[in-house]
Amino acid sequence: MKDKIALEEHLSTPLNNTLWDSVGEATRNGKAYMDDVERRLLDVDLLLKTMDQNGIDIAVMSLTSPGTQALTDPAKACDFAVRNNDYIAEKVTSRAPKRLRAFATVALQSPRHAADELERAVKTLGAKGAMINGHTNIGDANCAQYLDEKPVWEFWDRVAALDVPVYIHPREPLPNQCRIYDGYPSLVGSAMGFGQDAAVHAVRLILSGLFDRYPNLVVILGHLGEGLPFILPRIEHRLIKQSEGVGMGGLKLKPMEYLSRNFYVTTSGHFNTRPLFATINELGVEHVLFSVDYPYESMEEGGQWFDNAMINENDRRMIGRTNAQSLLRL
């Protein structure tokens, strides 16, 4: 397939690199691997060449995790978001405007500023929505604000008004919540900790009533939905059983109904056909999108798997291109 669209693809900026813990990342993930990742995060020419080699027509780029969400000073976080969005528009997407698009980075340390910056990025810079790297640090590295909490609903008001999606990307759990991974540091990040943290975050959004208030709101999750197509039916079952359904919090729909209505999921970093089938069965092919997770994952590996996966060609076309075209108005 020669014209795929990928939308969980990452970059960095010189400003963002001032936050980059390259020593810690190399310790967890291997120095050679991280050296290659860091090189690719800053190389737009190499990105475009790699897209050409693997049949990817359009890539929607976003600032690599944890980005803005890791800053504990609200004023610095707001300035950081603006400067990175401007840099990406001026130095990255402008290089190939028909092929490179972007999700805005926003500083939820100030929900009002995040709302204003998202609107500016969408209307002025051409952003296709926002990428939020999980919880936002408030005060210190062990204190988090999640997207379902009341201060953030001001931000969701603007998202709904702009009618753009929000991509929730994982990040590592709070340092004081990593006891379960002690002795196994390689599990803290993308191997396991990322997915668990993002999955619980998404369930919080569902149970908060956010999608009753904004029934047309769209959230995107990577990695085939961070496991939710497989574990949310069990969660729903137990919530209904517990205390005669009190755990559902008065929601209008069941959790799985929100997942299949308000969420899209991507194939980023999850190049396995059987889980893809299960995801399609739960959410419908209309809510599945091709992605790679570049440069943490290989466009060659992700592209070859997808191009040769045993799915029908209509589904391949929808997942590979037309669903993203429709959702992001490309």
**pLDDT the model gives residue 247:** 67
By the 8 A CB rule, do 10 and 295 touch?
yes
Residue-wise pLDDT for 81-128, tens only, equals: 999 999 999 999 999 999 999 999 999 999 999 999 999 999 999 999
**pLDDT the model gives residue 23:** 47
**pLDDT the model gives residue 56:** 98
- Mean pLDDT value across residues 128-157: 96
Q: How many residues make up the chain in this entry?
A: 330
**pLDDT the model gives residue 30:** 76
- Mean pLDDT value across residues 254-273: 97
- Mean pLDDT value across residues 195-205: 95
Peptide bond into 14 cis (omega under 30): no
Among 163, 293, 307, 315, the one annotated catalytic: 293
- Mean pLDDT value across residues 260-288: 97
**pLDDT the model gives residue 245:** 64
DSSP string, 168-222: EE--PPPGGG-GGGTT-GGGTTTTTHHHHHHHHHHHHHHHTTHHHH-TT--EEES
| Domain of residue 121, CATH code | 3.20.20.140
- Mean pLDDT value across residues 309-324: 97
SS (H, E, C) 108-128: CCCHHHHHHHHHHHHHCCCCC
**pLDDT the model gives residue 26:** 54
Mean pLDDT score of the chain: 94
- Mean pLDDT value across residues 192-211: 94
Closest to 290 (Cα-Cα) out of 280, 281, 282? 280
Residues of the chain with pLDDT > 90, as a percent, come to: 84
Q: Give the least confident one: 7-11, 37-41, 117-121.
A: 37-41
* Residue-range definition of the domain harbouring residue 260: 4-328
- Mean pLDDT value across residues 130-138: 96
- Mean pLDDT value across residues 10-37: 79
User: What does the DSSP 8-state code read for residue 248?
Assistant: G
- Mapped onto helix, strand or coil, the DSSP state of residue 62 is strand
Residue 283 has pLDDT above 60, yes or no: yes
**pLDDT the model gives residue 201:** 96
Number of domains in the chain: 1
For residue 235, name the pLDDT band (cuts at 50, 70, 90): very high
- Mean pLDDT value across residues 182-211: 93
pTM above 0.85, yes or no: yes
Residue 207 has pLDDT above 60, yes or no: yes
Q: Give the least confident one: 8-22, 31-45, 70-84, 126-140.
A: 8-22
Is 293 labeled as catalytic in the residue annotation?
yes
Please name the helix (run of DSSP H) or strand (run of DSSP E) that holds residue 132, with its range, or none. Answer: strand 130-133
- Mean pLDDT value across residues 218-236: 96
Beta strand 136-137 pairing with 130-133: unpaired
